[in-house]
């Protein structure tokens, strides 16, 4: 029987640029439906149910509603610590520990890993409990299956007295191909998965010893934090002033109390398009398809086409990724270099580098279907019971046509309902609000017309989601 409860902490940071164009800064890979129409973070929530029905996350402020939606979809009770800026894993883990009970065993797990056997994962975690309760920092290493240069390695030492964990001799940086091959043949080395089990008080003590400046900043950030429903908002000034560092550099490589528990099940950090391709079944020629992709007279070609027909003919060793507003074709050998593409696009100020055509909002989403001089067309989806802010535009008028569901419209002093195939007009400068009073999603087409159609032409007067009434995005 456990002396302390296990509290899963899902670390939701990261921009996922290695999976561009599907994953972008505004909608990183952990939130993208990649497997059975579920996101990696939702699957992580579901995996944690084998250990606890209550979970904590550490996520970016801008992704708060994406994290909340994922926890609700997984039917998990969750509290969400919101970071005003990203500061890497050491500060993220520190603020989680400061929001936990001292004797809680905190299981830190990245949100973007794929571990299909949740029960086997939970049993592996439990094998590390004795060491964690004794005051060790427990890390979980993955039994390597090939000489990867994409992961750091853990040198496994002698077995500990508990019979399930092993001393950590040292940590190794991501190696070159020759070193990776040597480590695999040598044995005794595990991939560093970035998953840890540690008592809250032990983590705070280690931070006080090895990274006192980080702990001090995080203590200030949590001392002044605010509670907003399921959200915990850190003090922005104090957390922004915190030094960014990984837990590996800040604590693990300096501590003498780190042990490792091997995990032998299937695992992937889904860190490249080659890794995504491997999640799909290959045909006899090594070709893999997702969605509406078709591969003919080709070898070792992967097509990811969830939205429209994409055909590859006579190709070899290619990865083809199709999204509504960007297509990427890369040699499989260059899958680890996609970050360079994103950097290039950002330097060229190309919006697709960071933004999707479809943009999520706390009330639902909008898809920018078409645009031109003085007009823009959007497809808007509003979740049941949700509403947009009460707002007004200085430079544009809007036409709304309901295609599915029922809309409750506030226009000036009027309030009325619209059903399928009905429409209304919102004149420039008129205060308005859109609501979904029904139990099914509301879908409508919005046609904007005017001299300026930017997302910053919004004056917000009231908002259900706590967004400050000022000129902000929709």
* pLDDT at res. 42: 96
Report which of 423, 417, 111 is spatially closest to residue 269, judged by C-alpha positions: 111
* Residue 252 neighbours by CB distance under 10 Å: 21
* pLDDT at res. 2: 56
Q: 47, 115 in Cβ contact below 8 A?
A: yes
Q: 417, 345 in Cβ contact below 8 A?
A: no
* pLDDT at res. 359: 82
Q: 73, 41 in Cβ contact below 8 A?
A: no
Domains and CATH numbers, the chain: 6-263 (3.90.550.10), 281-351 (no CATH), 358-462 (2.60.120.10)
Query: What is the Cα–Cα distance from 165 to 157, expressed in whole angstroms?
Result: 10
* pLDDT at res. 3: 64
* pLDDT at res. 467: 60
- 364-400 burial, b at 16+ Cβ within 10 Å, e below that, comes to bbbebeeeeeeebebbbbbbeebbbbbbbbeebebeb
Per-residue pLDDT of the chain (474 residues; tens, 9 = 90+): 556 789 999 999 877 788 999 998 888 889 988 888 899 999 999 999 999 988 999 999 989 889 998 999 999 999 999 999 999 999 999 999 999 999 999 999 999 999 999 999 999 999 999 999 999 999 999 999 888 888 889 998 888 887 788 998 889 888 888 888 988 888 889 999 999 999 999 999 999 999 999 999 999 999 999 998 899 999 999 999 999 999 999 999 899 999 999 999 999 988 899 999 998 999 999 999 999 999 999 999 999 999 899 999 999 999 999 999 999 999 999 998 999 999 999 999 998 998 888 888 889 989 988 888 999 999 999 999 999 999 999 999 999 999 999 999 999 999 999 999 999 999 999 999 999 999 999 999 999 999 998 888 888 998 877 665 444 444
* pLDDT at res. 318: 97
Query: What is the Cα–Cα distance from 353 to 355, expressed in whole angstroms?
Result: 6
pTM of structure:
0.84
* pLDDT at res. 357: 84
Query: What is the Cα–Cα distance from 363 to 465, expressed in whole angstroms?
Result: 9
């Amino acid at each position: 029987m456990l002396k302390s409860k296990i509290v899963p902490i899902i670390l939701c940071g990261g921009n996922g640029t290695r999976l561009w164009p599907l994953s972008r800064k505004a909608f990183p890979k952990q939130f993208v439906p990649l497997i059975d129409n579920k996101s990696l973070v939702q699957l992580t929530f579901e995996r944690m149910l084998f250990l606890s029905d209550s979970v904590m996350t550490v996520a970016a402020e801008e992704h708060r509603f994406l994290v909340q939606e994922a926890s609700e979809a997984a039917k998990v009770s969750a509290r969400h610590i919101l970071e005003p800026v990203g500061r890497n894993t050491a500060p993220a883990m520190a603020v989680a520990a400061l929001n936990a009970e001292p004797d809680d065993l905190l299981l830190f797990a990245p949100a973007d890993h794929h571990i299909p056997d949740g029960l086997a994962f939970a049993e592996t975690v439990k094998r590390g409990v004795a060491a964690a309760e004794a005051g060790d920092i427990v890390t979980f290493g993955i039994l390597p299956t090939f000489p990867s240069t994409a992961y750091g390695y853990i040198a496994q030492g002698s077995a500990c007295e508990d019979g399930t964990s092993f001393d950590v001799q040292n940590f190794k940086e991501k190696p070159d191909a020759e070193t990776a091959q040597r480590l695999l043949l040598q044995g005794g080395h595990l991939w560093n998965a970035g998953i840890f089990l540690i008592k809250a008080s032990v983590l705070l003590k280690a931070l006080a010893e090895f990274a006192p400046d980080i702990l001090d900043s995080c203590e200030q950030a949590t001392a002044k934090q605010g509670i907003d429903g399921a959200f915990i908002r850190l003090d922005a000034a104090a957390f922004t002033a915190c030094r960014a560092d990984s837990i590996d550099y800040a604590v693990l490589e300096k501590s003498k109390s780190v042990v490792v528990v091997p995990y032998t099940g299937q695992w992937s950090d889904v860190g490249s398009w080659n890794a995504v391709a491997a999640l799909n079944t290959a045909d006899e020629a090594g070709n893999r398809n997702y969605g509406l992709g078709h591969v003919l007279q080709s070898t070792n070609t992967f097509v990811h086409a969830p939205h429209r027909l994409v055909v590859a003919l006579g190709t070899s060793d290619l990865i083809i990724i199709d999204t509504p507003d960007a297509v990427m074709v890369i040699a499989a050998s260059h899958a680890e270099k996609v970050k360079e593409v994103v950097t290039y696009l950002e330097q060229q100020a190309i919006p697709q580098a960071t933004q999707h055509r479809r943009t999520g909002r706390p009330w639902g989403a909008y898809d920018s279907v078409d645009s031109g001089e003085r007009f823009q067309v959007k497809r808007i989806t509003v979740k049941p019971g949700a509403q947009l802010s009460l707002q007004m535009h200085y430079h544009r008028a809007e036409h709304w046509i309901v295609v599915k569901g029922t809309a409750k419209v506030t226009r000036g002093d009027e309030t009325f309902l619209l059903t399928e195939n009905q429409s209304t007009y919102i004149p420039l400068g008129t205060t308005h609000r859109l609501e979904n009073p029904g139990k099914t999603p509301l879908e409508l087409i919005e046609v904007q017309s005017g001299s300026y159609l930017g997302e910053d032409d919004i004056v917000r007067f009231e908002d259900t989601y706590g967004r400050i009434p000022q000129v902000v995005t929709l």
